Amino acid sequence: MSEHPAAPITLASSIRFSDPLPAEVDVVIVGGGVIGMMSALYLNRIGLSAFVVEKGRVAGEQSSRNWGWIRQLGRDEAELPVMMEASRLWEEIDIETGNRTGFSRSGIMYLASTDSEMEAQSRWLEVARRHQLDVRAIDGDAVAGLIDTGPGGKRWVGGVWSPTDARAEPWAAVPAVAELAQSEGVGIRENCAARTFERAAGKITGVHTEHGFIKAAQVVVAGGAWSSLLLRRHGVSIPQLIVRSSVARTAAMPEVFAGNALDEELAFRRREDGGYSLSALGSHDLMIGPDAFRHFFTWLPVAVKSLGHTRFLPFSPRHYPDAWGTARSWSKDEETPFERCRVLDPEPEHRRTEPTRKRFAARFPSLGEPELINVWAGMIDAMPDVVPVVDRVPGQVGLIVATGMSGHGFGIGPGFGKAIANIAAGRPTGHDLRRFRILRFADGSRLVPGPSL
């Protein structure tokens, strides 16, 4: 794990996984985030050998920088069965890792400040009923019984309450899963970028990494913000963009709510260390680059809903995936963009930090203004319809893509990891994954955005 188990993993974190490259495995997984690690764990458990190559650090990017929500509430209906399985699997994994994930089934609540917001949030209850989820609408008095705002605190008119939803500590959970997978036989190597795929007659035959070649008949691309760049080098185009989101961590404070909650302005989560993770709701930054122009017309019809309150910036920092100067083509013997930027560690949007702190204080005035221990940001891999691509690539036998989680990947990680393992094994996944097919962006399908939270 990172040296600071209550903060995101960075390039300064020690290398913990340095297994030697095998000559051959059944599946190479590109990316050591939650999707890659869960895929590796379940691939190994169904008898397929797997090796994970990670250009930087396991969970060094969005997988240790997210909110830590394990959420069924408000999910896209196509994701929901996968998420329901993921929720069960997280509980199993927590036990298998010796309770090192920070898992707590403490509930999630969507709060409403007005009657119209309450009405809008309650529409999702029909989805919950179809899937027999324990989710209910509650009034303001019931909210006050669960969330203690204290004298003079915020009074919400109601909320939608999912008592069986959960939380975990991402910076602890994903490395714990990696150690579990490694203990069961999965190979993992950090500081090992995948450079190019070897192909013959339209089939994957292996992966060239910066440290050598691994023969494999299948590759899973689970590179998060970097997936689109790697895939484009191999002739596969997906309309993935990346957006920056910032999060703050408070010092330890009295508990006002054991779970996770959000309203129209603020999201907060109780942490294992006694503080809260805070984020300004709907505040993202899209750094414009070549991909933003390339996929403009795909994003245009749904941009207003899927991008929400996104702020547009004219360029990315040097060496970012969609920076203007980032190389789009390279050979197996060349240094790649993945080696030039081992870990995306974006500067947080500090202008949003103080308003976020004040919003929390306004809701819980008896606590006073929280002390912020640290603030960080992550780059979210986003799709225009706010649901991922989890699919085989047509015409490239052996290439599987699992990316574009759109900020929802941590919670659903075990569910998609298990599904990806079954895809690789040629087994039924147990889920209808048609909404996540890669060809939806090219076959004339109407893109329907899912929920952005």
Average of per-residue pLDDT across 237-256? 95
Q: Where are the domains of the chain?
A: 27-107+164-441, 108-163
What digits encode the pLDDT tens for the residues 62-81? Answer: 999 999 999 999 999 999 99
Interior/surface letters 384-417, b for 16+ CB within 10 angstroms, e for the rest: bbbbbbbbbbeebebbbbbbbbbbbbbbbbbbbb
7-16, 302-311, 391-400, 442-451 — which is least confidently predicted? 302-311
Region 374-385 average pLDDT: 94
CA distances from 443 to 231, 241, 292, 438 (A): 19, 20, 20, 10
What pTM, to 2 d.p., does this model score? 0.96
Q: Which residue has the higher pLDDT, 428 or 452?
A: 428
- Give burial (CB, 10 Å; 0-12/13-18/19+) of 234: middle
**Under 8 Å between Cβ of 92 and 46:** no
Tell me the C-alpha distance between 325 and 132, whole Å.
Answer: 50
* pLDDT tens-digit map of 278-320: 999 877 888 889 998 898 888 877 666 656 667 778 888 999 9
Looking at 3.40.190.10, 3.50.50.60, 3.10.129.10, 3.40.50.150, the CATH number of the domain 27-107+164-441 comes to: 3.50.50.60
CA atoms within 13 A on the CB side of 86: 31
What was the pLDDT predicted at 303? 67
Pairing of strands 266-270, 203-209: unpaired
User: In this predicted structure, what is the pLDDT of residue 1?
Assistant: 37
Q: pLDDT above 70 covers what percent of the chain?
A: 97
Tokens 């605190």 sit on residue:
153
Position 306 scores a pLDDT of 56
Task: Write down the pLDDT at residue 197.
Answer: 98
* Secondary structure of the chain in HEC code, one letter for each residue: CCCCCCCCCCCCCCCCCECCCCCECCEEEECCCHHHHHHHHHHHHCCCCEEEECCCCCCCCHHHCCCCEECCCCCCCCCHHHHHHHHHHHHHHHHHCCCCCCCECCCEEEEECCHHHHHHHHCCHHHHHHCCCCCEEEEHHHHHHHCCCCCCCCCCCEEEEECCCEECCHHHHHHHHHHHHHHCCCEEECCCCEEEEEEECCEEEEEEECCEEEECCEEEECCHHHHHHHHHHCCCCCCCEEEEEEEEEECCCCCCCCCEEECCCEEEEECCCCCEEEEECCCCEEECCHHHHHCHHHHHHHHHHHHCCCEEECCCCCCCCCCCCCCCCCCCCCCCHHHHCCCCCCCCCHHHHHHHHHHHHHHCHHHCCCCEEEEEEEEEEECCCCCCEEEECCCCECEEEEECCCCCHHHHHHHHHHHHHHHHHCCCCCCCCHHHCHHHHCCCCCCCCCCCC
- Residue 94 banded pLDDT, cuts 50, 70, 90: very high
Q: What is the pLDDT of residue 432?
A: 98
pLDDT tops 70 at residue 2: no
The pLDDT > 90 percentage for the chain reads 88
409-425 and 34-45 helices, crossing angle to 10°: 40
Q: Which amino acid is at 220?
A: V
Model pLDDT, residue 316 = 86
pLDDT band per the 50, 70, 90 thresholds, residue 4: very low
Kindly report the average pLDDT of the chain as a whole number.
94
Interatomic CA distance for residues 254 and 288, integer angstroms = 41
Per-residue confidence (pLDDT) for residue 304, from 0 to 100? 64
| Rounded distance between C-alpha atoms, residue 364 and residue 151, angstroms | 8
Read off the pLDDT of each residue in 9-16 and give the average, rounded to a whole number. Answer: 96
Burial class (CB in 10 A: 0-12, 13-18, 19+), 62: buried
Residues 6+ apart with CB under 8 A from 15: 57, 190, 191
Q: What would the pLDDT profile of 166-181 be if each residue is shown by its tens digit?
A: 999 999 999 999 999 9
Q: Bigger pLDDT: 332 or 309?
A: 332
At 367, the pLDDT band (50, 70, 90 cuts) reads very high
Q: Is the pLDDT of residue 110 over 50?
A: yes
Distance, CA of 328 to CA of 317 (rounded, Å): 16
Taking the alpha carbons at both ends of the chain, their separation in whole angstroms is 28
CB 336 within 8 A of CB 329: no
pLDDT of residue 226: 98
- The whole-angstrom separation of Cα 267 and Cα 5 is 22
